[in-house]
Amino acid sequence: MRNLRRNFERFCFKNRNWGIPNLMLYICLGSALVYVMGLVDGSNTLYSWLVFDRAKILQGEIWRLISYPLTDSRSHPFVMAIFLICYYSLGRSMENLWGTLRFNLFYLTGVLLQDVFCLVLGGVATASYLNMSLFLAYATLYPDSQFLLLYIIPVRAWIFALVDLVIVFYSVITMTVYGFFPYSLFPLIALLNYFLFFGKDVVNIFPVSWQANARRLFRKKSQAGPQVIRFKGAGSYEASVAKPKTPYTHRCTVCGRTDVDSPDLEFRYCSRCSGYHCYCQDHISNHTHIQ
């Protein structure tokens, strides 16, 4: 599976210009057109021709399989404009990072997964969860970017993303309890493209400090004791290890933790510092070198 993912990423990188450039621009412009036509035409004729309808698709109106992302509508024009601008900005940022091919595959995979689920089990495919997967992908790639809540309060993207995930899982559980299974699984199917494309990288949506604490909590304690890297020609170091003058063998120069009070830590000696300075695993790559 790891090799398959690596080969896929390599293929997307080599052919990053394939596909439809500025895909989100066309989707947002199309959504704006459908919304404006709905305001002008009270019967919503254009909307009814593009929205997902399982019965009409089975009758031959197959364009509905790919046209329903244009039917995302909001109650107020200002709210609709804000959402469309946001989706376009998110899509452009991801396309610039991933390339046109990979972004096209990401978005169209979400469309295909919703189509298959709704055709087999019934229901209506919507653009809401599809655009949510777009936001989750952006928050995973840029977790520290900020959005303005109520256009005033800055909130980091990963906070919004975690709230969205909680709402999704809560809705799945609630609909299952009330007997809407298997259609209650639709939110998860709609976000499946997000989990397929990111794999274990979905953990990047969490702050780095949370990830470090989780690794430390679930790390298995080493039975062989702390691992030490010894440099050639370190005669004085060998002597100090042979006859320790302190109750511990290794002590971190930054935080002061030792192999006695923290036996599960690993310690290293920095080759760039002048002399023999020991550091724990949390500070070996994050300290000021002593000259």
Name the residue with tokens 């020609």.
233
> Do both 197 and 94 map to the same domain?
yes
Q: Give the range of the structural domain holding residue 262, as residue numbers without chain letter.
A: 220-291
pLDDT tens column, 225-274: 566 666 655 555 444 454 445 678 888 888 888 888 888 888 888 888 87
> Do both 117 and 193 map to the same domain?
yes
> Do both 204 and 253 map to the same domain?
no
> Do both 205 and 234 map to the same domain?
no
The whole-angstrom separation of Cα 135 and Cα 146 is: 13
pLDDT < 70 stretches in the chain: 1-2, 74-75, 150-151, 207-246
The CATH number of whichever domain residue 130 belongs to comes to 1.20.1540.10
Task: Report the number of distinct structural domains present in the chain.
Answer: 2
> Do both 184 and 244 map to the same domain?
no
User: Which residues make beta-bridge pairs with 279?
Assistant: 268
Question: Which pLDDT belongs to residue 223?
Answer: 54
Where among 187, 214, 241 does a domain terminate? Answer: 214
Where among 173, 193, 214 does a domain terminate? Answer: 214
> Do both 93 and 171 map to the same domain?
yes
Question: Which pLDDT belongs to residue 203?
Answer: 78
> Do both 201 and 226 map to the same domain?
no
> Do both 87 and 199 map to the same domain?
yes
> Do both 226 and 178 map to the same domain?
no
> Do both 200 and 135 map to the same domain?
yes
> Do both 110 and 160 map to the same domain?
yes
User: Which of 112, 105, 137 lies closest to 52 in space, CA to CA?
Assistant: 112
pTM: 0.67
Question: Which pLDDT belongs to residue 210?
Answer: 66
Backbone angles phi and psi of 165, in degrees to 5:
-65, -40
> Do both 202 and 225 map to the same domain?
no
The whole-angstrom separation of Cα 74 and Cα 104 is: 25
Where among 166, 193, 214 does a domain terminate? Answer: 214
Question: Which pLDDT belongs to residue 26?
Answer: 92
Question: Which pLDDT belongs to residue 104?
Answer: 92
The whole-angstrom separation of Cα 85 and Cα 287 is: 42
Query: Does a cis peptide bond (omega within 30 degrees of 0) precede residue 154?
Result: no
